[in-house]
């Protein structure tokens, strides 16, 4: 009888130790999984931050180019500026006399005139 009790105790101890190992393994795997998920999330957040900085720099560059193009556009809107630019290039033009110019009248249904 004593041998059966000892065998039972050994088998119970083995079962307890196996169960304990399984529980510990489960807890460790859950914690490790949580750590890996958090590490991946932090990596994605960092990458998004880098992308935001790149986009901000691109926006600044585009705003600078936009301002530069607007100033160039304002320059070329003025006829006297165009004439001076042409003179610098060696092209000599003069404004025509009013008697030599003609006015073209568009029909009322013209889409181009409606937009102006």
pLDDT tens string 9-68: 666 677 778 888 999 999 999 999 999 999 999 999 999 999 999 999 999 999 999 999
Give the pLDDT of residue 42. Answer: 96
The CA distance from 28 to 35, in Å, is 10
3-state secondary structure of 108: coil
Domain boundaries, the chain: 12-95
Say yes or no to pLDDT of 6 above 80.
no
What's the whole-model pTM score? 0.47
């Amino acid at each position: 009888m004593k041998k059966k009790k000892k065998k039972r105790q050994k088998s119970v101890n083995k079962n307890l130790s196996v169960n304990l190992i399984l529980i510990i393994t489960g807890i460790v795997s859950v914690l490790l999984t949580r750590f890996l998920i958090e590490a991946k999330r932090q990596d994605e957040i960092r990458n998004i931050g880098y992308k935001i900085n790149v986009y901000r720099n691109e926006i600044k560059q585009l705003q600078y180019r936009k301002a530069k193009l607007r100033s160039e556009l304002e320059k070329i809107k003025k006829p006297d500026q165009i004439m001076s630019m042409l003179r610098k290039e060696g092209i000599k033009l003069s404004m025509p006399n009013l008697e030599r110019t003609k006015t073209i009248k568009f029909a009322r249904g013209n889409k181009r005139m409606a937009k102006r």
